[in-house]
Structures are given as C-alpha cells and as structure tokens.
Chains A and B, each alone.
Chain A
Amino acid sequence: MTPSLRVEGLGKRYGERRVLSGVDLVAGRGEILAVLGANGAGKTTLLSIIAGITSHDEGDVRVLGVDVRAHPKAVRGRIGWAAQDTAVYPTHTVEENLRYFGTLGGVRRGGLRASVDAVMEALDLTRSSRTPVRDLSGGQRRRVHAACALVHRPELILLDEPTVGADPETRRDLLRLVAAIARDGATVLYTSHYLGEIEDLDARVVVLGGGRCLAEGPVSDLVSRHARSELVLRFHGPPPTTHWPGARVDEDLLRLPTADPAIDIIKAVEWVGAERDRLRSVDIAKADLESAYFNILRAGSCP
C-alpha cells in the first residue's frame, strides 16, 4: 500500500545555508508523525516543502503517491495545512472563513454545510459561527486557524505548532481532534515544542537537528533507547564529587542516572553520608520524551 507521505534524501539550501540534508520520512494512513527539533532545525521548511509551497534542492517528496514538485496541483486540496502563524481573515466570520477554505478544498454545496458544521462542533466554535474572527480571543482564533486546515477533510494534515498561544482547553480540544482525525484514516504531521502533547498523541517521532534526522521511532522506543530515569539531589552549595556512573553536576543539582530508582534512591542517600546536612531534596526524574529528546540533541547523531 502506498504510504501517505514518503520523503527520501530531502535537501534544501537557502543561499549558502543548508537547512535540510538527507531527510527520510515515511508516514502511513492514520498515523501521527511528530517532527521535533529546536528553532531553526528545519521543521517548518520541511512542512512547507511537503505542502508544495517551498521548492527543494535534493531528494524526492511524494504525497499520497504524487511527486509534489512535478505535480503540485494534483495534491492541492488533499492537504490541510495550519502554519505557525495564524492565517485567517479577521473581517470574515468564523463560518465565512470555513466556507471559503472548504470551497477551495473542493467541498461542494450540500457537503460544505455538513463539513463546516462538523468542524465547528468539534472545535467548539458553533456559538461563534457568525462572529468576525477579529472579535474572537487568541485561543478561539487558533481554533479557527486549525479548523480551516480540516474543513475539506484532507488526507494529509500538516500542523505546525498548532497549540502555540492556545489556552489549556483549546489545546485539549485540538489534541482530541487530531487523534480522532488520525483514527478516521488521515495522516497527521505535527510539530510542537510541547513534548507532553506528543506523548499524549502517542505519535511516532522524528527528531531533527541541524537539518538532519537525528532519531526516529515511537515515543516508547525513543524513551527506552535514549532516556534513563535520574535521581536528582539538590544541595546547599556545590554537590559533593561522586564516582556514580554517568553522574552530572548542574549548579546545585546532582543528577544520578538509574535503572531502578526505588533501590538506587536508598543507595544515594546512604552515599551522601556526611554531606546529609547540605542535602535539600531528593527527586526522581522519570525517563520521558523530554529527557530522551535532550539526550538525542546532545548526542547529535542517528542511532
């Protein structure tokens, strides 16, 4: 079966600056693929190339089996794209914005009404349907922005940091909707700096760094491969020196990697011994996507 998205050896330069280099991605129907990376890692450029808005210098990008460089028109309307910047018409009402993007996306007459109503319902916009977007709160504008990417029921959805500036309720509703859309068979490419969102979505993750793919896999896989739980000991003043394997000092914190926090926490407290008076607190930092992400960036190479 043809994957919804296949990216092979993708390279892009802006002048002398190389933004993407040898990026490979595959995403199937119903899959959520999260693209992570620091600012400037190339996430937005990657999404713009997949959307057919930015040209690429090397490699092959196929969306729904179609080469986007050779046949950009063939995939238009089958992609839903919500870029980082909110892109809606402030003088138009919520419904007018959605009808416009629905029409451009090829939804016709009878279907348009149903599509607009469904997406407004899913993002709790029905009560604001006749309100001009300029009169909405920031969170509601983000909802309209996301809704415009979904109203024509696209097969591939590109969401570039959709929850930036959104309140917790908007974020929760958006994440629920993204999960539901994927369950219905659409492929979702999702970028975010909120790693908790990616864990909630249980997405497959690609970490970009310096324009290259640094790691790829399901959240659980990345966490088990790249993250370890840590005992975090906070001291008054600098922590004492230790031979604990992999120990790191971070100002007044001593981070001790552990495979079994319940046992090692006792060992650590015993080891502190004479320095116990200076010990302020002991915490367990569980292995999660965030620690895996930072370890991947630190290592800076593909596993």
Chain B
Amino acid sequence: MPVTPVVAVLHHDLIWLRRDPVPFVTLLLTPCLLMSFTAPLYAGVASRLGHEGASGADFSVPGMALMFAFFMGGVIKESIFREFELHTWNRVQVSGASAGDLLGGKILLGGMLVLGQSSVLFLVGGLLLGLNVRGSMVALIVLLVGVAVCVVSFSLALCTLARSRSQAFAYDRVITLVWTVLGGALVPIELMPSWVRALATVTPVHWAVSGLREVIVGGGGLRQVLLSVACLFAFSLVFCAIALWRVSKKVDRGFRW
C-alpha cells in the first residue's frame, strides 16, 4: 500500500508497466540476443588485447548492458512525457505531490528498471554465455548503481532540453549510439584511433566500460573502480544541474513542455 507521494507515483507507474510490459521486455530480450551473437566475435578480440583466458562474453555482456541501460532511460522519458500528454502533470501537483515527488517516483522507477535489466543481463551472461566476474561483486554493484544514476539523470536532462517527445527520443538514440561507440562499449577502445580514445573520456560510457573491464577482466575491487564511479556521479551531477535549470525556466513560463 503506497504511503508517501514518491512511493505512490512509483506504484502507479509500475501498474502502467504491468499493463504494457512490451518496452521493458524488449529492452531485456534484445540485448540477450545481441550478447549471444557477439560473444564469439569478442573471443578473438580478448586474446588480441592480451587478456588470455577472458571469454567473449566478458566484453559483450558489459557492452550491451551499458548500451541498453541508456536505452532503458526511454521508459523514464516516456513516463514523463505521458504525464504532459494526459494533462496529469499539473493535476498531480495540485493533488498534493510536488514536482519533486513526481520526479522522485520516476527516478526510482528508472533506477529499478536499469538495475533490474543489468542484473538479468549479467545473470544470463554468467549462466549461459560464460561471463566470469573475476573481481569484487560489491565493486560491480556499485558501478551498476553509478550507471543507473547516470542513465536516470541523463534522461531527466534530455526531457527538459527537448521540446517534444519525438525530439527527446531522437536525441536519445543519437547520443546513446555515439557514446556507446566512442566509449568503447561496442568496440574496445584500444582498437580505435588515438583521437577517438581522447574523445572517449568525455562520455560517461567510457568510465562505465573501463570500470566494468577492471572488475570483470582485471579482477579489480572497489578501490580500482573509484575513479570510474566518481566520474559517473560527476556526469550525473551535471545532468541533474541541467535538468533543474531547465525546469526552473519552464516553471516561470507556466511549466508546459
């Protein structure tokens, strides 16, 4: 039974998701398929990069998990734009919840979805594709939480920057694909030209990939992923600041998208 506005919003959105689970299920099944297709390709890459004993899944699973984590942000964007299209955004606030409560519920939903998706993908990778996490599980979880926070804050920023749902999703697809490629989630960064490697550091995906590689292939612990986690949270702070700034502008204009 929901008792606080944030939990009520989360509960409400979960009902929505239960009635229309297709987006979530698609974002679970597609990476599973792609992971199984690409794992054999990465097997050769692993040995070429000097990671003897690493499986293709050690590269394909985190890469696909990251790319589709950012795509999962679409569910949050959908949820926010839906409130405006149904004219419920303002109504909810007059009813007793603040914009913070409303966004809080959606942030929780997004975080849960990204973490749930990552957990399923890593589980499938471990059980079916030969993924072997050599390092600390705690470090892996902390990294995935960092990724979830980054995805959610990025989605919020994008919602406030875009003028419409279609704009938000167009930007989302372009930015996610560019970040995924530049950040080394699809092709290991070592195989890219030096100028691309320099650009990669300005993408959150790069820091997530290097942290995950450190834990999965390098056997690292919490200390080894601290820089990656810190960078992910720094990106999140920037995204949140953009979102807050844009929201304050919109409030002055009557808060309409």
CA distance A91 to B94 in the complex (A): 21
Q: Quick check: B16 and A52 within 8 Å, CB to CB?
A: no
B216 to chain A, nearest CB (A): 39
Task: Report whether B2 and A103 are in contact in the complex, using a CB–CB cutoff of 8 Å.
Answer: yes
Q: How far is the CA of A108 from the CA of B87 in the complex (A)?
A: 25
Contact of A104 among B87, B92, B255 (CB under 8 A): B92
Query: Contacts A55-B252, A92-B16; is A104 near B97 (CB within 8 Å)?
Result: yes
> Are A83 and B87 within 8 A (Cβ)?
yes
Q: Which residue of A lies closest to B5 (CB)?
A: A104
**Interface residue tally on A, bucketed by range:** 20 to 34
Contact partners of B2 in chain A: CB under 8 A? 103
Say yes or no: A104 contacts B95, CB within 8 Å.
yes
Residues B211-257 near A (CB distance < 8 A) = 251-252, 254-255
Whether the pair A76, B96 counts as a contact (CB closer than 8 A) is yes
Q: Indicate if the CB atoms of B15 and A92 lie closer than 8 Å.
A: yes
Provide the main secondary structure of the chain A interface.
loop
Name the distance in Å between B231's Cβ and chain A's nearest Cβ: 35
Contact B94 A108 (CB under 8 A): no
- Shortest C-beta distance, B236 to chain A (Å), equals 26
Q: State the Cβ distance, B255 to closest chain A Cβ, in Å.
A: 7
Q: Are A79 and B94 in contact (CB under 8 A)?
A: yes
Render B65-106 as a binary contact track against A, CB cut-off 8 A, 1 for contact: 000000000000000000000111011111111100100000
Chain A residues contacting B163 (CB-CB under 8 Å) are none
Q: Which of A185-214 contact B (CB under 8 A)?
A: none
Best-buried of A51, A76, A90, A91 by chain B (most CB within 10 Å): A76
Q: Which of A140-199 contact B (CB under 8 A)?
A: 148, 152
Instruction: Give the A-B pair count, Cβ closer than 8 A.
Output: 85
Residues on the A chain within 8 Å of B15, using CB = 91-92, 96
- Most chain-A CB neighbours within 10 Å: which of B12, B16, B91, B97? B91
Q: Contact between B91 and A148 (Cβ–Cβ < 8 Å)?
A: yes
B137 near A: Cβ within 8 Å? no
Contact flags B180-195 to A (C-beta < 8 A → 1, else 0):
0000000000000000
Contact of A104 with B96 at beta-carbon distance under 8 Å, contacts A87-B87, A90-B86 already known: yes
**B95–chain A nearest beta-carbon distance, Å:** 4
Q: Does chain A have a CB within 8 A of B128?
A: no
Mask of A44-65 contacts with B, CB within 8 angstroms, 1/0: 0000100111110000000000
Minimum CB distance partner of A109 in chain B: B1
Known: A92-B12, A106-B96. A86 touches B255 (CB 8 A): no
A294 at the interface (CB under 8 A from B): no
Interface residues of B (CB under 8 A from A): 1-3, 5, 8, 12, 15-16, 19-20, 86-88, 90-98, 101, 251-252, 254-255
CB pairs A–B below 8 angstroms (15 shown)? A52-B93, A52-B94, A55-B254, A76-B98, A80-B94, A81-B91, A83-B90, A89-B12, A91-B20, A92-B19, A101-B91, A103-B5, A104-B8, A104-B92, A148-B95
